[in-house]
Amino acid sequence: MKTTFARTSLADSVPRLVATARGDISASLVIRNGTLVNVCSGEILPGQSIAIQGSHIAYVGKDVSHLIGEETQVIEAEGKYMAPGLLDGHCHIESTQLTVTEFARAVLPMGTTGGFFDAHEITNVLGLKGLRLMLEEARTTPLAAYMQVASCVPSTHAGLETTGAWIGPKEVEEALSWGPDMIGLGEVMNFPGVVYGDDKMIGEIQATLRAGKIVDGHFTWPSSDWRLPVYAASGVTGDHECVTKEDVIERVRLGLYAKMRRGSAWHDVAETIKAHTEHGIDTRRMLLVTDDRSSESLLEEGHMNFVLRHAIAQGVKPVTAFQMATINTAERFGVARDVGSLSPGSCADVILLDGRLADVHVVMTIAAGQVVAEHGKMTAAWGSFAYPEEAAQTVHLNKRLSAGDFAIPAPVDSGTVQVRAIEVMENHVTTKEKIVQAVAQGGQLRLENGLCKIAVFERHTGTGDHSVAFVTGIGFQEPAAIAMTVAHDSHNLMIIGNDDELMARAGNLTADVHGGVTVITRTETVTFPLPIAGLMSQEPFEVVARQSAAISQALQQAGCTLNYAFMTLSLLALVVIPELRLSDKGLVRISEQGIGLVSLFAD
């Protein structure tokens, strides 16, 4: 049976909540005699019960017998922990390759009942229409889903890349008016623009602050840089680009919320959590987040439950880890009255856990006062959400690709030349600029010594703009190529390979299915269609996870053994993260001095 999940406002719920707490009317649901994880006090309290009325908690205490009536659903929690539903403080749903509906189906059984989602991937392709679609779909699910307006469309100043849309202060103001679940401005990746007073970026921040909303950050210059306090002065109050303990310490000292991420391919928690475990920094402004997790890693590892286990394994007290994934997150976004704790008046988002608390073994998830998952399986269902046809027609190339599109003219007819190459860093979002020797033959550069080519083709309007460069660290041991329309953040068509003919075929196959990922060798072709904006599939979570795993397996068989390689490779066009990236306009270098196009030739 399909269910409608209504999260009524606290203001509208007050009369019935107070009447329930008095015992005048019976609770709709009671969870009895469990061990309460009290993230407000940092205590573990045995023998506690929770009474729920509708979508809110009415009462928390030892004795709830007077609140149980004939119609009350009673869950016996003896031997189990009762904790608030987990919140992801920074997540891009599109990076899971799932729709919001299937994302909810994936993470609710793992204990995630809400999150703060920056839909800047689909916004870069479809503009505010894409963001609105994500918001409307999220509202049909049991999740407490808060959306942020994409701040950087494009991700930096004009001329460095081509995106499918443009977002400025007026668009930010409009989107923030859509409802209280539009929580703020998404990560401000154009941090140089903020520091040096770019009108567009300053205007977006002002529009957000005037609406009484929060501004999220993205600062990749060193934490000791004099410009971090300048960035904070703009009104940015949180940042997930923390990769060292010093990054966390400096942000917390400035009053920012430091977000420590454990995505699929970037593993920053082990180092950043040392700000607390080694330096004793107070954790109230420290959050655990995922940022980007693929459907494959959701299936294999988990979501926020996995991140909590990982943090606890680094020496964090279990109750402290829960705080960093619940109440700290809610307080950072100003919604602690609604989510993030098991308190009277809060939304009834509750998880029950078996075994040791440190194991984070979720056996039941309650969202908006209804049991939605038990023992790792969804027990609730809701209606499907239909995306319009235009959302599935977003790959527009000006022609079929051919091997000649990947040729790189040399400045000499023969000999060697020094060129810049993008060096991939496993389990990190950053890259390195590497100077390598390339061989010229017949006026063109050849691939040698493990180099691959990387190309980016504009795919939003069919301009034909494209660029080709070199990348190292891929590891292909045979002729191979991968093409993808998941190419952060502009999401043009990016192709990586060591064979021009295979690169062209991979690109054409990806365009033929309206976006997605294709891995091709001389003997095998694996295509993972992602037709919604070239980013997401409407297939069930389990199907998408298998398709994602097939891409990983095909890459490994070709010799690319990077951890969750597709996730890492998809960032090679993200022109705001150091040191070297490729857009459809050319190579982009990101340094402490700024961002700009650089020549392929180091000479």
Cβ atoms of 288 and 112 within 8 Å: the answer is no
Instruction: State the pTM of this model.
Output: 0.94
Please check whether residue 23 lies inside any domain of the structure: no
Crossing angle (nearest 10°) for helices 128-138 and 169-176? 20
Say if residue 299 is in the same domain as residue 440: no
- What is the per-residue pLDDT for 3? 67
Say if residue 219 is in the same domain as residue 111: yes
Which CATH number do you get for residue 162? Answer: 3.20.20.140
pLDDT at 6 over 80: no
DSSP 67-136: G--TT-EEEE-TTSEEEEPEEEEEE-GGGGTB-HHHHHHHHGGGTEEEEEEE-HHHHHHHTHHHHHHHHH
- What percent of the chain clears pLDDT 90, i.e. is strictly above it? 88
Please report which confidence band the pLDDT of residue 295 belongs to, taking 50, 70 and 90 as the band edges. very high
Beta bridge partner(s), residue 52: 29, 57
Say if residue 151 is in the same domain as residue 282: yes
Q: Is 496 helix (H, G, I), strand (E, B) or coil?
A: strand
Q: How far apart are CA 337 and CA 526, in angstroms?
A: 47
Please report which confidence band the pLDDT of residue 123 belongs to, taking 50, 70 and 90 as the band edges. very high
Cβ atoms of 90 and 291 within 8 Å: the answer is yes
Say if residue 414 is in the same domain as residue 273: no
Please check whether residue 92 lies inside any domain of the structure: yes
Please check whether residue 351 lies inside any domain of the structure: no
Please check whether residue 559 lies inside any domain of the structure: yes
Give the end of a domain, one of 261, 282, 314. Answer: 314
Give the end of a domain, one of 314, 336, 363. Answer: 314
Cβ atoms of 319 and 39 within 8 Å: the answer is yes
Please check whether residue 130 lies inside any domain of the structure: yes
Please check whether residue 61 lies inside any domain of the structure: no
130 CA to centre of own chain: 16
In the numeric block, which tokens belong to residue 225?
Answer: 């840089």
Phi and psi, residue 382, nearest 5°: -145, 170
Please report which confidence band the pLDDT of residue 594 belongs to, taking 50, 70 and 90 as the band edges. confident
Distances (CA, A) of 439 to 310, 410, 411, 419, 449: 45, 9, 11, 10, 10
Count of domains observed in the chain: 2
- Type of residue numbered 20: T
- DSSP annotation of 337 reads T
- Over residues 396-428, the pLDDT tens digits come to 999 999 999 999 999 998 889 999 999 998 888
- What is the per-residue pLDDT for 590? 86
pLDDT at 56 over 60: yes
Say if residue 395 is in the same domain as residue 495: yes
Q: What is the mean pLDDT of the chain?
A: 95
Please report which confidence band the pLDDT of residue 480 belongs to, taking 50, 70 and 90 as the band edges. very high
- Over residues 58-110, the pLDDT tens digits come to 999 998 999 999 999 999 999 999 999 999 999 999 999 999 999 999 999 99
Say if residue 442 is in the same domain as residue 578: yes
In the numeric block, which tokens belong to residue 72?
Answer: 């009350």
Residues of the domain holding 118: 86-314
Say if residue 286 is in the same domain as residue 410: no
Please check whether residue 187 lies inside any domain of the structure: yes
Say if residue 283 is in the same domain as residue 429: no
Please check whether residue 52 lies inside any domain of the structure: no
- Over residues 31-51, the pLDDT tens digits come to 999 999 999 999 999 999 999
57 or 4, greater pLDDT: 57
Say if residue 442 is in the same domain as residue 532: yes
Cβ atoms of 310 and 293 within 8 Å: the answer is no
Considering only 132-141, 240-249, 493-502, 592-601, which range has the smallest mean pLDDT?
592-601
Give the end of a domain, one of 314, 332, 356. Answer: 314
Distances (CA, A) of 440 to 408, 413, 414, 416, 418: 10, 6, 5, 6, 10
Spell out a b/e string for 147-156, using b for 16 or more CB atoms within 10 Å of the CB, else e.
bbbbbbbbbb
Say if residue 168 is in the same domain as residue 274: yes
- Over residues 439-475, the pLDDT tens digits come to 999 999 988 888 999 999 999 999 999 999 999 999 9
- What is the per-residue pLDDT for 7? 85
Phi and psi, residue 394, nearest 5°: -120, 5
In the numeric block, which tokens belong to residue 596?
Answer: 């700009």
Say if residue 290 is in the same domain as residue 399: no
Please report which confidence band the pLDDT of residue 155 belongs to, taking 50, 70 and 90 as the band edges. confident
Compute how many other C-beta atoms are within 10 angstroms of the C-beta atom of residue 181.
15
Say if residue 309 is in the same domain as residue 400: no
